[in-house]
Amino acid sequence: MFAQFRRIRAAAIAAVAGGASLAASWPLLGVVAEPSMCLGLSPEQALIGLHLHLVSVSASCANGFAATQALAPAVGITVAISLSALVFGLLSLALVGGGAVAVRTLLRRVSSWVRRQWVLVFEALLPTPSAAPVLVRVDGRPQRRDYSSVQRRGPPRSSIS
């Protein structure tokens, strides 16, 4: 019981972390289109960005920082990781919460529908052999069945007189 709560909590944390990271990096997606964009950064973000060479000091920007060419790939990687964490968390929540049963039921319904619909198509495509008489040898005399001694009931024939 506690293991399921731990799985639900871990999946929820992954989904929330992915969503929060995606929301934080969403405004930076404009950098991919225009690499020399001016950015409004906090002092901590500016320090980290300058250290990693993702932003540069620019006199033409009001905030003082412009994006470099290295920021666009970093934003792309951040968005990809955030999106995958969000999708993984949501799928884990769905599977832990009983989504596997719903998906299995849906797949069974779809497969049975496909089988019903496509059988007609395949039968129409396959040539059907024409009916031909089959010769079978039939013996006109009924055969007498000999039963083994274990299968017979009653006393042996020789003792009946």
Average confidence (pLDDT) per 10 residues, the chain, 161 residues: 76 84 75 70 82 82 78 81 86 78 86 79 69 81 67 65 54
Q: Looking at residue 110, what is its pLDDT?
A: 92
Q: Which amino acid is at 59?
A: A
The structure tokens listed for 157 are 């024939």
Which residue blocks in 38-158 are alpha helix, DSSP H? Answer: 43-51, 71-94, 100-125
Residue 140 lies in a domain: no
The answer to the question of residue 112 being in a domain is no
Q: Is residue 123 part of a domain?
A: no
pLDDT in the model for residue 32: 63
* 142 found inside a domain: no
Domain of residue 50, residue span: 2-101
For residue 144, what is the DSSP state?
A: P
pLDDT of residue 42: 79
**pTM to 2 decimal places:** 0.50
Q: Could you give the CA distance from residue 18 to residue 80 in angstroms, rounded to a whole number?
A: 10
Q: Does 134 fall in a domain?
A: no
Query: What pLDDT score was predicted for residue 122?
Result: 64
Domain count, the chain: 1
Inside any domain, residue 113 = no
Largest CA distance in the chain: 131
In a domain, 117, yes or no: no
pLDDT of residue 109: 93
Q: Are 25 and 18 in contact (CB under 8 A)?
A: no
In a domain, 86, yes or no: yes
Distances (CA, A) of 142 to 39, 105, 139, 145, 147: 102, 55, 8, 9, 15
Instruction: Report the C-alpha gap between 115 and 137 in whole angstroms.
Output: 40
